[in-house]
Structure 1
Amino acid sequence: MRIERVDYDRTQHAGYARGRRLLPSSRRAWTRAFRSLAGDRRISRVADVGSGTGRFTPALAEEFGAATVGVEPSERMREVAHAQSAHPLVTYVPGSAADLPLDDGSADLALMFLVWHHVPDRPAAARELARVLAPGARLLIATTLADRLKDLLLYRYFPRTRDIDAEVFPTLADTEAVFRDAGFAPAGLVEVRHRSADSLAEYTERQRLRALSVYEHLTEAEYRDGLAAMAADAAAETDPRPVEADCDLLAFTRT
């Protein structure tokens, strides 16, 4: 299938911050994982590459006590970040993974959170990340991997999203190869338990905001029917259970 790139200036920006809001438990789980894979070097500057509406940028600044720059190509997403995710240690700037407005070797840690599959030229982006990271610095990539797809609740209600994810996301081997060629060495792979919502009802309300980029690839009928089935199950839920899934977090060392 042919998958078109998502234009975040046209869609997504309006409901993204609310639809993808981090629950406190998920923020703690991710920051613990970031810390565990960040390495032993002193971290004074962090790059959040593809920072979007700033969902993780202030958390990175607080966790590492470091100046953090959020690099985001979408003007509308940056507008939301400035308005809703401001922080004394954080700066949001325009840029992309293959064109980072950072000096050579100036970052001690970089994060790409569900960004890697959106990058059109991955080898160029890997080389650019190698340029801005200091030797020995770590790159963290939270991503779905085509050969490690999880049992997501989303797939139950929107079955074709699994096929789309398998097409859009790279495999682990492909990802490691791209970064190895750019001067990185694999430094770890962990699964992080991410809680999207405390109940199916809450999860359903989030999906009404269409804050997942995969929805841009569904037909209106697929989205409408899946949401209706989810809403029906949410209405019948008598014992609310959290919606959770394991997510992969990769670490690479700039050699």
Structure 2
Amino acid sequence: MARITYDDQTAAAFKAVREIPRAGLGEWREAIRRHLNPSPGMTVADIGAGTGAFATAFDDWFDLGVLAVEPSASMRAQIPPRPAVQVLEGDAAALPLPDGSVDAAWLSLVIHHIPDLEAAAREIRRVLRPGAPVLIRQGYPDRADATRTFPWEFFPEAARTTGTFPSLEQTCQAFAAAGFRREALESVPEKLTTLADFLAQVDVYRRSDTIIRGLTEEEFLRGKERLRRAVQDAGPETRTNWLDLLVLR
């Protein structure tokens, strides 16, 4: 499923530096609430759950049952144990769930890891109850804006990798083939970290990030130097990143 191998070292790095602090996800909480309309007793499939950041957030925010489906054993091992979160081995094209068993599907920064998006859309359609939504948190190459996407302003060569990700149109077409229609699309801000903190973490970040791992050593070092110079002029404010929330139903 993944473009990189999420072994123990990579999973630990992901857990350490890639999870967004819960305080930085307030806008996502409200955006998800608007489109999910959560209520007690609902079950959400978190597909490609990673280290469980959003699985645990859904539990805390909305008191929902979460089925955290993740192909990597190392990533699954990082998901905190909770009664409301059931951790399952599987991927988007082979979900270990019965037909019509979940009230929503959540995919966060995962569609670029899926080799056959149409097959995944059919499988997601199979497990959703009638009328249930798919919520996708993602950046799309045809909607990219370097001024709103942190930290790619410091690593412009990252466009070489992000340009290979599914576009918004390709994503909608793949899901349309499975009977989904686009219901909503909005850009949602998230507060990440200060530049100084990111500079301190960037080497670990690189081990867990598909995009930065695609850079050559020279490209990475040039970006790190741009970041170092920016830190000298930056204040203590937290940087904001923007990603799209695509809702299909």
Q: Same fold (TM over 0.5)?
A: yes
Q: Is the 8 A contact 2:48 2:91 kept in 1?
A: yes
- TM-score, normalised with respect to structure 2: 0.91
- TM-score, normalised with respect to structure 1: 0.89
Structure 1 pair 38/238, CA: closer, same or farther in 2 (3 Å)? closer
Q: Secondary structure at the match of 1:134?
A: coil
- How many angstroms apart in 2 are the aligned matches of 1:158 and 1:37? 33
Q: Secondary structure at the match of 1:5?
A: coil
Residue deviations 1:71-126, cap 9 Å, x none? 00011111111xxx222201111100000001101000110000011101111100
| Residue 111 of structure 2 is aligned to residue 120 of structure 1 | no
Identity %: 34
Match of 1:177 in 2: 173
Structure 1 pair 241/40, CA: closer, same or farther in 2 (3 Å)? closer
Match of 1:231 in 2: 228
Tell me the CA shift for residue 59 of structure 1: 0.8
Tell me the CA shift for residue 41 of structure 1: 7.7
- How many angstroms apart in 2 are the aligned matches of 1:187 and 1:43? 24
Unaligned runs of 5+ in 2: none
Q: Is the 8 A contact 1:194 1:245 kept in 2?
A: yes
User: Which amino acid in the other structure matches residue 237 of structure 2?
Assistant: R
What is the aligned-residue RMSD (CA, Å)? 1.9
**Which structure carries more strand by proportion?**
1
User: Which amino acid in the other structure matches residue 183 of structure 1?
Assistant: G
Structure 1 pair 136/208, CA: closer, same or farther in 2 (3 Å)? same
Q: How does 1:22-37 map to 2 (within 5 A)?
A: 22-37=20-35
Match of 2:237 in 1: 241
Structure 1 pair 96/131, CA: closer, same or farther in 2 (3 Å)? same
Match of 1:141 in 2: 136
User: Which contiguous aligned blocks of 4+ residues in structure 1 show a shift greater than 4 angstroms?
Assistant: 39-43
Unaligned runs of 5+ in 1: none
Q: Is the 8 A contact 2:3 2:210 kept in 1?
A: no
Q: Is the 8 A contact 1:71 1:95 kept in 2?
A: yes
Residue deviations 1:115-151, cap 9 Å, x none? 0111011111000000000001111001111110022
Q: Is the 8 A contact 2:39 2:62 kept in 1?
A: no
1:201 pairs with one of 196, 200, 203: 196
